[in-house]
Amino acid sequence: MEAKEITLLSFQIREDNFAVDAMQVLHILDYKTVRLTPVPNTPDHLLGIINLHGNIIPVADMRVIMEKDDLSIGSDASIVVLNPEEQEDAVVGILVDMVKEVIETKEDQLQETVLEGKKGLIESFQGTLVFNNEFIHVIDINNLIETIEK
């Protein structure tokens, strides 16, 4: 049986490369153009909320989730708005340092993740892909949503 085709959106968080299922990406927003409203008494990884087409969407800082020290926001920063399948009410935005590219590959190209244990607050990855001589860790969106909502 032939391996299933998958489409991934890759992005960078500091020096690390990650990806999510591109079919679960609703929007990619330029951070500089977004009006983010802070929400008091929320976890450190929650930057605030945005109003996107009348919908209030929480935005999480992936640099905090991945426990990075440098939290400065660069000129290429973007907010990737995710909508996990079968979870209409779980739309979230994630702040990343830079959106890189869309990758078309086959599911069997994903190898067991090379990360030992969890990475920052994330506990599960779908796997790791080697693409253009770089490791790209594919984030399990459902696990990410659970982490953000904690």
Domains of the chain: 5-149 (2.40.50.180)
Average pLDDT over residues 5-16: 95
Give the dihedral sign, CA 34/120/85/106.
positive
pLDDT the model gives residue 136: 93
- Confidence label for 118 from pLDDT (cuts 50, 70 and 90): low
- Confidence label for 116 from pLDDT (cuts 50, 70 and 90): low
- Confidence label for 111 from pLDDT (cuts 50, 70 and 90): confident
pLDDT the model gives residue 150: 74
The rounded mean pLDDT for the chain is: 89
pTM for this entry? 0.91
- Of residues 33, 23, 25, 45, the one with CA closest to residue 104: 23
pLDDT above 90 for 147: no
CB 47 within 8 A of CB 61: yes
